[in-house]
Structure 1
Amino acid sequence: MSWLPILPLLGVWILVVMSPGPDFLIVLRHSAGGSRRSGVRVAAGVVTGIGVWAVAGLFGVTMLVQRFEWLYTAARVAGALFLVGFGVATIRAARKRSPQADDEPPAIAARRPGRLREWRAGLLTNLANPKALVFFGALFASLLPHHANLVMRAVTLGAMLAVAFAWFSAVAFLAGSPWITRGYGRLRKRLDLLTGGLFVGMGALLIPR
Protein backbone atom coordinates (compact mmCIF):
# COMPACT_ATOMS: atom_id res chain seq x y z
CA MET A 1 0.00 0.00 0.00
CA SER A 2 1.34 3.43 -0.96
CA TRP A 3 1.64 6.09 1.76
CA LEU A 4 1.41 8.94 -0.75
CA PRO A 5 -2.41 9.32 -0.65
CA ILE A 6 -2.46 9.83 3.12
CA LEU A 7 0.62 12.09 3.45
CA PRO A 8 -1.40 15.35 3.18
CA LEU A 9 -3.72 14.11 5.94
CA LEU A 10 -0.78 13.20 8.18
CA GLY A 11 0.83 16.58 7.51
CA VAL A 12 -2.28 18.40 8.70
CA TRP A 13 -2.56 16.05 11.67
CA ILE A 14 1.00 16.76 12.82
CA LEU A 15 0.27 20.49 12.91
CA VAL A 16 -3.01 19.96 14.77
CA VAL A 17 -1.69 17.56 17.39
CA MET A 18 1.24 19.88 18.20
CA SER A 19 -0.99 22.89 18.81
CA PRO A 20 -1.38 23.76 22.54
CA GLY A 21 -4.64 22.76 24.19
CA PRO A 22 -6.05 20.83 27.17
CA ASP A 23 -4.19 17.65 26.16
CA PHE A 24 -0.86 19.49 26.11
CA LEU A 25 -1.56 21.12 29.48
CA ILE A 26 -2.54 17.92 31.27
CA VAL A 27 0.58 16.07 30.04
CA LEU A 28 2.78 19.05 30.90
CA ARG A 29 1.32 19.36 34.40
CA HIS A 30 1.73 15.69 35.30
CA SER A 31 5.25 15.54 33.86
CA ALA A 32 6.61 18.71 35.45
CA GLY A 33 4.77 18.16 38.73
CA GLY A 34 5.33 14.42 38.91
CA SER A 35 7.60 12.45 36.63
CA ARG A 36 8.20 11.50 33.03
CA ARG A 37 6.48 8.16 33.58
CA SER A 38 3.44 9.95 34.97
CA GLY A 39 3.35 12.20 31.91
CA VAL A 40 3.65 9.23 29.54
CA ARG A 41 0.74 7.48 31.25
CA VAL A 42 -1.36 10.63 30.86
CA ALA A 43 -0.23 10.80 27.22
CA ALA A 44 -1.43 7.23 26.73
CA GLY A 45 -4.85 8.26 28.04
CA VAL A 46 -4.93 11.25 25.70
CA VAL A 47 -4.06 9.04 22.72
CA THR A 48 -6.78 6.57 23.73
CA GLY A 49 -9.29 9.42 23.61
CA ILE A 50 -7.96 10.50 20.22
CA GLY A 51 -8.45 6.94 19.02
CA VAL A 52 -12.09 6.97 20.13
CA TRP A 53 -12.83 10.20 18.25
CA ALA A 54 -10.87 9.11 15.19
CA VAL A 55 -12.66 5.77 14.93
CA ALA A 56 -15.99 7.54 15.30
CA GLY A 57 -15.01 9.98 12.54
CA LEU A 58 -13.79 7.18 10.27
CA PHE A 59 -17.05 5.25 10.50
CA GLY A 60 -19.44 8.11 10.03
CA VAL A 61 -20.60 8.83 13.58
CA THR A 62 -20.26 12.51 12.69
CA MET A 63 -23.27 12.19 10.40
CA LEU A 64 -25.30 10.66 13.23
CA VAL A 65 -24.41 13.53 15.56
CA GLN A 66 -25.30 16.07 12.87
CA ARG A 67 -28.68 14.41 12.44
CA PHE A 68 -29.38 14.39 16.17
CA GLU A 69 -27.99 17.75 17.19
CA TRP A 70 -29.02 17.30 20.81
CA LEU A 71 -26.38 14.54 21.16
CA TYR A 72 -23.65 16.97 20.20
CA THR A 73 -25.05 19.65 22.51
CA ALA A 74 -25.20 17.20 25.41
CA ALA A 75 -21.62 16.11 24.75
CA ARG A 76 -20.44 19.73 24.68
CA VAL A 77 -22.18 20.50 27.97
CA ALA A 78 -20.68 17.40 29.60
CA GLY A 79 -17.23 18.27 28.28
CA ALA A 80 -17.55 21.87 29.44
CA LEU A 81 -18.58 20.76 32.92
CA PHE A 82 -15.64 18.37 33.15
CA LEU A 83 -13.05 20.95 32.07
CA VAL A 84 -14.50 23.67 34.29
CA GLY A 85 -14.76 21.26 37.22
CA PHE A 86 -11.17 20.10 36.73
CA GLY A 87 -9.99 23.69 36.52
CA VAL A 88 -11.84 24.71 39.67
CA ALA A 89 -10.49 21.68 41.54
CA THR A 90 -6.95 22.55 40.43
CA ILE A 91 -7.35 26.14 41.60
CA ARG A 92 -8.78 25.10 44.96
CA ALA A 93 -5.98 22.57 45.51
CA ALA A 94 -3.36 25.20 44.62
CA ARG A 95 -4.81 27.68 47.10
CA LYS A 96 -4.72 25.10 49.88
CA ARG A 97 -1.21 23.94 49.04
CA SER A 98 1.27 24.52 51.83
CA PRO A 99 4.88 25.64 51.23
CA GLN A 100 6.04 22.24 52.54
CA ALA A 101 4.05 20.46 49.80
CA ASP A 102 5.90 22.42 47.13
CA ASP A 103 9.19 21.09 48.48
CA GLU A 104 8.02 17.48 48.32
CA PRO A 105 10.18 15.29 46.05
CA PRO A 106 8.53 14.76 42.64
CA ALA A 107 8.83 10.98 43.00
CA ILE A 108 6.48 11.06 46.01
CA ALA A 109 4.02 13.35 44.25
CA ALA A 110 4.11 11.11 41.20
CA ARG A 111 2.97 8.06 43.17
CA ARG A 112 -0.10 9.72 44.60
CA PRO A 113 -2.51 9.77 41.66
CA GLY A 114 -2.00 6.11 40.66
CA ARG A 115 -1.29 4.76 37.20
CA LEU A 116 -4.91 4.16 36.24
CA ARG A 117 -5.98 7.59 37.45
CA GLU A 118 -3.23 9.23 35.41
CA TRP A 119 -4.31 7.38 32.28
CA ARG A 120 -7.93 8.24 33.02
CA ALA A 121 -7.06 11.93 33.50
CA GLY A 122 -5.62 12.03 29.99
CA LEU A 123 -8.53 10.08 28.53
CA LEU A 124 -11.25 12.23 30.10
CA THR A 125 -9.45 15.47 29.24
CA ASN A 126 -9.40 14.48 25.58
CA LEU A 127 -12.96 13.12 25.52
CA ALA A 128 -14.19 16.35 27.12
CA ASN A 129 -13.91 18.10 23.75
CA PRO A 130 -16.61 16.76 21.39
CA LYS A 131 -15.47 19.24 18.73
CA ALA A 132 -12.84 16.61 17.98
CA LEU A 133 -15.55 14.44 16.40
CA VAL A 134 -16.48 17.21 13.98
CA PHE A 135 -12.80 17.83 13.24
CA PHE A 136 -12.07 14.18 12.46
CA GLY A 137 -15.19 13.91 10.33
CA ALA A 138 -14.12 16.93 8.28
CA LEU A 139 -10.48 15.78 8.12
CA PHE A 140 -11.34 12.33 6.80
CA ALA A 141 -14.01 13.62 4.44
CA SER A 142 -11.62 16.11 2.83
CA LEU A 143 -8.21 14.39 2.91
CA LEU A 144 -8.77 10.64 3.21
CA PRO A 145 -8.98 9.10 -0.28
CA HIS A 146 -12.56 8.12 -1.08
CA HIS A 147 -11.37 4.75 -2.34
CA ALA A 148 -9.65 3.96 0.98
CA ASN A 149 -10.37 0.39 2.05
CA LEU A 150 -10.36 -0.99 5.58
CA VAL A 151 -6.61 -1.64 5.51
CA MET A 152 -5.79 1.92 4.45
CA ARG A 153 -8.12 3.30 7.11
CA ALA A 154 -6.48 1.14 9.76
CA VAL A 155 -2.98 2.19 8.66
CA THR A 156 -4.04 5.85 8.66
CA LEU A 157 -5.48 5.54 12.16
CA GLY A 158 -2.37 3.74 13.41
CA ALA A 159 -0.07 6.38 11.94
CA MET A 160 -2.10 9.20 13.51
CA LEU A 161 -2.05 7.58 16.94
CA ALA A 162 1.69 6.91 16.65
CA VAL A 163 2.31 10.57 15.81
CA ALA A 164 0.19 11.72 18.73
CA PHE A 165 1.85 9.38 21.22
CA ALA A 166 5.33 10.33 20.00
CA TRP A 167 4.55 14.04 20.41
CA PHE A 168 3.00 13.83 23.86
CA SER A 169 5.71 11.44 25.05
CA ALA A 170 8.29 13.99 23.89
CA VAL A 171 6.43 16.67 25.86
CA ALA A 172 6.45 14.40 28.92
CA PHE A 173 10.17 13.67 28.50
CA LEU A 174 11.13 17.34 28.18
CA ALA A 175 8.78 18.58 30.90
CA GLY A 176 10.05 15.86 33.24
CA SER A 177 13.63 17.13 33.00
CA PRO A 178 15.12 17.81 36.45
CA TRP A 179 15.64 21.52 35.84
CA ILE A 180 12.01 21.93 34.74
CA THR A 181 10.62 19.93 37.67
CA ARG A 182 12.70 22.01 40.08
CA GLY A 183 11.42 25.21 38.51
CA TYR A 184 7.86 23.91 38.60
CA GLY A 185 8.29 23.02 42.27
CA ARG A 186 9.28 26.59 43.11
CA LEU A 187 6.39 28.10 41.17
CA ARG A 188 3.90 25.27 41.54
CA LYS A 189 1.13 27.25 43.24
CA ARG A 190 1.15 30.04 40.64
CA LEU A 191 1.43 27.64 37.73
CA ASP A 192 -1.41 25.47 39.04
CA LEU A 193 -3.58 28.56 39.45
CA LEU A 194 -2.78 29.52 35.86
CA THR A 195 -3.42 25.99 34.58
CA GLY A 196 -6.72 25.80 36.46
CA GLY A 197 -7.78 29.13 34.99
CA LEU A 198 -6.94 27.94 31.47
CA PHE A 199 -9.03 24.79 31.93
CA VAL A 200 -11.95 26.88 33.19
CA GLY A 201 -11.62 29.16 30.17
CA MET A 202 -11.44 26.26 27.72
CA GLY A 203 -14.47 24.67 29.32
CA ALA A 204 -16.39 27.93 29.10
CA LEU A 205 -15.70 28.05 25.36
CA LEU A 206 -17.47 24.70 24.96
CA ILE A 207 -20.69 25.88 26.57
CA PRO A 208 -23.31 26.17 23.80
CA ARG A 209 -24.36 29.74 23.11
Structure 2
Amino acid sequence: MSDIQIVSFVAASLLIIIVPGVDFALVTRQTVRYGRRAGFVVLAGLFAAALVHATLATAGLSALLVSSPRLYTAVRIAGALYLLYLGGTILWATRPRRTTAAQPVPVAAGTAGGGAPAPDAPPVEEPAVTAAEDRHVARRSFVMGITSQLLNIKVVVFYVTFVPQFVTPGAGAAARTAVLAATFIGLAVLWWACYIMLIDRLQPWLTRPSVLTVIERLTGLILVVLAIRIALSH
Protein backbone atom coordinates (compact mmCIF):
# COMPACT_ATOMS: atom_id res chain seq x y z
CA MET A 1 0.00 0.00 0.00
CA SER A 2 1.55 3.27 -1.15
CA ASP A 3 1.89 6.44 0.92
CA ILE A 4 -0.76 8.13 -1.25
CA GLN A 5 -3.21 5.32 -0.53
CA ILE A 6 -2.52 5.57 3.19
CA VAL A 7 -3.09 9.33 3.20
CA SER A 8 -6.24 8.90 1.12
CA PHE A 9 -7.56 6.24 3.48
CA VAL A 10 -6.90 8.35 6.58
CA ALA A 11 -8.44 11.47 5.01
CA ALA A 12 -11.54 9.60 3.85
CA SER A 13 -11.84 7.87 7.23
CA LEU A 14 -11.72 11.15 9.15
CA LEU A 15 -14.37 12.63 6.87
CA ILE A 16 -16.64 9.65 7.48
CA ILE A 17 -16.02 9.73 11.24
CA ILE A 18 -16.82 13.40 11.79
CA VAL A 19 -20.07 13.36 9.77
CA PRO A 20 -22.88 13.47 12.38
CA GLY A 21 -24.93 10.32 12.75
CA VAL A 22 -26.37 8.00 15.37
CA ASP A 23 -23.09 7.84 17.29
CA PHE A 24 -22.85 11.63 17.36
CA ALA A 25 -26.37 11.97 18.78
CA LEU A 26 -25.87 9.34 21.47
CA VAL A 27 -22.41 10.45 22.58
CA THR A 28 -23.54 14.07 22.77
CA ARG A 29 -26.72 13.34 24.68
CA GLN A 30 -25.19 11.01 27.26
CA THR A 31 -22.15 13.23 27.86
CA VAL A 32 -24.21 16.38 28.29
CA ARG A 33 -26.79 14.76 30.55
CA TYR A 34 -24.64 12.43 32.64
CA GLY A 35 -21.05 13.60 32.26
CA ARG A 36 -17.95 12.41 30.44
CA ARG A 37 -17.96 9.00 32.16
CA ALA A 38 -21.25 8.17 30.43
CA GLY A 39 -19.85 9.50 27.17
CA PHE A 40 -16.82 7.23 27.42
CA VAL A 41 -19.06 4.26 28.26
CA VAL A 42 -21.04 4.93 25.06
CA LEU A 43 -17.71 5.08 23.26
CA ALA A 44 -16.77 1.72 24.78
CA GLY A 45 -19.97 0.25 23.37
CA LEU A 46 -19.26 1.74 19.94
CA PHE A 47 -15.71 0.38 20.11
CA ALA A 48 -16.86 -3.14 21.02
CA ALA A 49 -19.38 -3.16 18.16
CA ALA A 50 -16.77 -1.82 15.73
CA LEU A 51 -14.44 -4.69 16.67
CA VAL A 52 -17.24 -7.15 15.91
CA HIS A 53 -17.95 -5.52 12.54
CA ALA A 54 -14.24 -5.43 11.65
CA THR A 55 -13.81 -9.11 12.59
CA LEU A 56 -16.84 -10.18 10.56
CA ALA A 57 -15.71 -8.12 7.57
CA THR A 58 -12.18 -9.54 7.71
CA ALA A 59 -13.59 -13.07 7.84
CA GLY A 60 -15.87 -12.33 4.88
CA LEU A 61 -19.07 -12.87 6.87
CA SER A 62 -20.32 -9.29 6.47
CA ALA A 63 -20.28 -9.73 2.69
CA LEU A 64 -22.57 -12.74 3.09
CA LEU A 65 -24.99 -10.64 5.16
CA VAL A 66 -25.06 -7.85 2.58
CA SER A 67 -25.57 -10.34 -0.26
CA SER A 68 -28.55 -11.96 1.50
CA PRO A 69 -31.70 -9.84 0.99
CA ARG A 70 -33.50 -11.42 3.96
CA LEU A 71 -30.64 -11.01 6.43
CA TYR A 72 -29.92 -7.50 5.19
CA THR A 73 -33.56 -6.46 5.58
CA ALA A 74 -33.83 -8.08 9.01
CA VAL A 75 -30.80 -6.20 10.37
CA ARG A 76 -31.94 -2.96 8.73
CA ILE A 77 -35.44 -3.13 10.22
CA ALA A 78 -34.12 -4.19 13.64
CA GLY A 79 -31.73 -1.23 13.66
CA ALA A 80 -34.48 1.17 12.61
CA LEU A 81 -36.83 -0.11 15.32
CA TYR A 82 -34.16 0.27 17.99
CA LEU A 83 -33.41 3.86 16.97
CA LEU A 84 -37.14 4.58 16.89
CA TYR A 85 -37.43 3.20 20.42
CA LEU A 86 -34.52 5.31 21.68
CA GLY A 87 -35.72 8.48 19.98
CA GLY A 88 -39.33 7.97 21.06
CA THR A 89 -38.28 7.32 24.67
CA ILE A 90 -36.23 10.51 24.80
CA LEU A 91 -38.99 12.60 23.22
CA TRP A 92 -41.59 11.15 25.58
CA ALA A 93 -39.43 11.97 28.60
CA THR A 94 -39.12 15.61 27.48
CA ARG A 95 -42.79 16.14 26.62
CA PRO A 96 -44.39 19.29 28.13
CA ARG A 97 -46.11 18.51 31.41
CA ARG A 98 -49.03 20.30 32.98
CA THR A 99 -48.00 22.06 36.16
CA THR A 100 -50.17 22.18 39.23
CA ALA A 101 -50.60 25.10 41.58
CA ALA A 102 -47.83 25.43 44.11
CA GLN A 103 -48.73 23.99 47.49
CA PRO A 104 -47.69 25.71 50.73
CA VAL A 105 -44.50 24.23 52.04
CA PRO A 106 -44.86 23.01 55.63
CA VAL A 107 -42.46 24.35 58.17
CA ALA A 108 -39.72 21.75 58.64
CA ALA A 109 -38.71 20.67 62.08
CA GLY A 110 -35.57 22.31 63.30
CA THR A 111 -36.15 25.65 61.51
CA ALA A 112 -36.52 28.96 63.17
CA GLY A 113 -39.88 30.55 62.35
CA GLY A 114 -40.15 28.67 59.07
CA GLY A 115 -37.21 30.55 57.64
CA ALA A 116 -33.53 29.70 57.81
CA PRO A 117 -32.47 26.54 59.64
CA ALA A 118 -31.79 26.88 63.30
CA PRO A 119 -28.14 27.33 64.23
CA ASP A 120 -27.94 23.79 65.58
CA ALA A 121 -29.73 22.18 62.62
CA PRO A 122 -27.59 20.06 60.25
CA PRO A 123 -26.94 21.57 56.81
CA VAL A 124 -29.29 20.51 54.04
CA GLU A 125 -27.43 18.64 51.29
CA GLU A 126 -28.49 17.97 47.74
CA PRO A 127 -29.26 14.27 47.15
CA ALA A 128 -26.24 12.64 45.57
CA VAL A 129 -26.42 10.22 42.67
CA THR A 130 -26.45 6.76 44.17
CA ALA A 131 -24.09 4.02 43.11
CA ALA A 132 -27.05 2.04 41.76
CA GLU A 133 -28.15 4.97 39.58
CA ASP A 134 -24.60 5.44 38.37
CA ARG A 135 -24.36 1.77 37.39
CA HIS A 136 -27.73 1.99 35.63
CA VAL A 137 -26.58 4.98 33.58
CA ALA A 138 -23.32 3.23 32.68
CA ARG A 139 -25.10 0.02 31.71
CA ARG A 140 -27.68 1.85 29.61
CA SER A 141 -24.98 3.97 27.94
CA PHE A 142 -22.98 0.88 26.95
CA VAL A 143 -26.08 -0.88 25.61
CA MET A 144 -26.97 2.21 23.58
CA GLY A 145 -23.53 2.30 22.02
CA ILE A 146 -23.06 -1.36 21.21
CA THR A 147 -26.63 -2.10 20.11
CA SER A 148 -27.06 0.92 17.87
CA GLN A 149 -23.72 0.17 16.20
CA LEU A 150 -24.25 -3.58 15.81
CA LEU A 151 -27.66 -3.04 14.22
CA ASN A 152 -26.50 -0.18 11.99
CA ILE A 153 -26.60 -1.72 8.52
CA LYS A 154 -24.71 1.27 7.11
CA VAL A 155 -21.71 0.29 9.22
CA VAL A 156 -21.87 -3.23 7.80
CA VAL A 157 -21.97 -1.86 4.27
CA PHE A 158 -19.09 0.50 5.08
CA TYR A 159 -16.76 -2.35 6.09
CA VAL A 160 -17.78 -4.36 3.03
CA THR A 161 -17.47 -1.58 0.44
CA PHE A 162 -15.12 1.10 1.75
CA VAL A 163 -12.17 -0.75 3.31
CA PRO A 164 -11.69 -3.26 0.42
CA GLN A 165 -11.10 -0.34 -1.97
CA PHE A 166 -7.69 0.14 -0.33
CA VAL A 167 -6.77 -3.56 -0.21
CA THR A 168 -5.01 -5.29 -3.08
CA PRO A 169 -6.50 -8.77 -3.66
CA GLY A 170 -4.23 -11.75 -3.16
CA ALA A 171 -2.12 -13.23 -0.41
CA GLY A 172 -2.30 -11.26 2.82
CA ALA A 173 -5.48 -9.40 1.84
CA ALA A 174 -7.24 -10.40 5.07
CA ALA A 175 -4.35 -9.12 7.18
CA ARG A 176 -4.28 -5.81 5.31
CA THR A 177 -8.03 -5.49 5.73
CA ALA A 178 -7.66 -6.05 9.48
CA VAL A 179 -4.92 -3.39 9.71
CA LEU A 180 -7.03 -0.83 7.86
CA ALA A 181 -10.09 -1.63 9.97
CA ALA A 182 -8.01 -1.24 13.14
CA THR A 183 -6.66 2.08 11.85
CA PHE A 184 -10.18 3.33 11.19
CA ILE A 185 -11.35 2.28 14.65
CA GLY A 186 -8.32 3.92 16.26
CA LEU A 187 -9.01 7.21 14.45
CA ALA A 188 -12.66 7.05 15.50
CA VAL A 189 -11.81 6.43 19.17
CA LEU A 190 -9.32 9.32 19.17
CA TRP A 191 -11.86 11.66 17.60
CA TRP A 192 -14.66 10.73 19.98
CA ALA A 193 -12.39 10.96 23.03
CA CYS A 194 -11.45 14.53 22.08
CA TYR A 195 -15.09 15.36 21.38
CA ILE A 196 -16.24 14.00 24.74
CA MET A 197 -13.61 16.07 26.57
CA LEU A 198 -14.74 19.18 24.69
CA ILE A 199 -18.39 18.57 25.58
CA ASP A 200 -17.38 17.98 29.19
CA ARG A 201 -15.67 21.38 29.28
CA LEU A 202 -18.87 22.99 27.99
CA GLN A 203 -21.14 21.04 30.33
CA PRO A 204 -21.83 23.90 32.80
CA TRP A 205 -23.48 25.82 29.94
CA LEU A 206 -25.00 22.83 28.14
CA THR A 207 -26.71 21.55 31.30
CA ARG A 208 -28.75 24.71 31.77
CA PRO A 209 -32.41 23.55 31.81
CA SER A 210 -33.42 25.36 28.63
CA VAL A 211 -30.35 24.22 26.69
CA LEU A 212 -30.56 20.65 27.99
CA THR A 213 -34.20 20.39 26.95
CA VAL A 214 -33.33 21.51 23.42
CA ILE A 215 -30.50 18.98 23.22
CA GLU A 216 -32.75 16.18 24.49
CA ARG A 217 -35.51 16.94 22.00
CA LEU A 218 -33.09 17.36 19.10
CA THR A 219 -31.47 14.03 19.96
CA GLY A 220 -34.83 12.27 20.06
CA LEU A 221 -35.92 13.88 16.80
CA ILE A 222 -32.64 13.01 15.04
CA LEU A 223 -32.88 9.38 16.13
CA VAL A 224 -36.48 9.11 14.92
CA VAL A 225 -35.64 10.70 11.55
CA LEU A 226 -32.62 8.40 11.12
CA ALA A 227 -34.79 5.40 12.02
CA ILE A 228 -37.32 6.33 9.34
CA ARG A 229 -34.57 6.87 6.75
CA ILE A 230 -33.00 3.50 7.52
CA ALA A 231 -36.37 1.73 7.42
CA LEU A 232 -37.21 3.24 4.02
CA SER A 233 -33.76 2.68 2.49
CA HIS A 234 -32.87 -0.37 0.38
Q: Which TM-score band applies after superposition, normalised by the shorter structure?
A: 0.7 to 0.9
Identity of aligned residues (%): 25
- Which residue matches 1:188? 212
Shift in Å, 1:88: 0.3
Aligned to 1:140: 163
- Deviations 1:86-138, CA, capped at 9 Å, x for gaps: 00000111127899xxxxx9x84982633233222111122231121112111
For residues 45 and 163 of structure 2, the distance between their equivalents in structure 1, rounded to whole angstroms, comes to: 23
Residues 30-179 of structure 1 mapped to structure 2, 5 A cutoff: 30-95=30-95, 108=129, 111=134, 113-147=136-170, 149=172, 150-177=174-201, 179=202
Give, in whole Å, the separation in 1 of the partners of 2:208 and 2:34: 10
Paired letter, 1:81: L
Name whichever structure is richer in helix by fraction.
1
Q: Aligned partners of 2:154 and 2:59: how far apart in 1? A: 16
Q: CA deviation at 1:21?
A: 0.5
Q: Given the superposition, is the C-alpha separation of residues 63 and 157 from structure 1 closer, same or farther in structure 2, using an over 3 Å criterion?
A: closer
In the alignment, residue 164 of structure 2 is paired with which amino acid? A
Q: What code does the residue aligned with 1:156 have?
A: L
Gaps of 5+ in 1: 100-104
How far residue 199 of structure 1 moved from its aligned partner, in angstroms, is 0.4
Task: Please give the per-residue CA displacement for 1:154-193, whole angstroms capped at 9, x wherever unaligned.
Answer: 332322221111111111111111x434333322222211
RMSD: 2.7
Q: TM-score, length-normalised on structure 2?
A: 0.75
CA–CA distance in structure 2, aligned partners of residues 180 and 147 of structure 1:
50
- Relative to structure 1, is the Cα distance of residues 135 and 155 closer, same or farther in structure 2, using a 3 angstrom cutoff? closer
Measured at CA, do residues 11 and 145 of structure 1 come closer, stay the same or move farther in structure 2, by a change above 3 Å?
farther
The residue type paired with residue 129 of structure 1 is N
Aligned mates of 1:108, 1:172 — CA distance in 2: 21
Structure 2, unmatched stretches of 5+, are 100-125
CA contact (8 A) 1:57 1:134 kept: no
Q: Secondary structure at the match of 2:152?
A: coil
Alpha-carbon distance in 2 for matches of 1:111, 1:14 = 32
> Which deviates the most, 89-98 or 127-136?
89-98
> SS of the counterpart of 2:39?
helix
Matched, 1:206 2:224: no
Distance in 1 separating the partners of 2:14 and 2:222: 23
Contact 2:163-2:177 at 8 Å conserved across structures: no
CA shift at 1:139, angstroms?
A: 1.0
Greater mean alpha carbon deviation, residues 82-91 or residues 183-192: 183-192
Distance 2:208 2:219 in 1: 14
The count of aligned residue pairs is 201
AA in 1 matched with 2:140: R
Name which one, 1 or 2, has greater alpha-carbon Rg.
2
Equivalent residues of 2:44, 2:142 under 8 A apart = yes
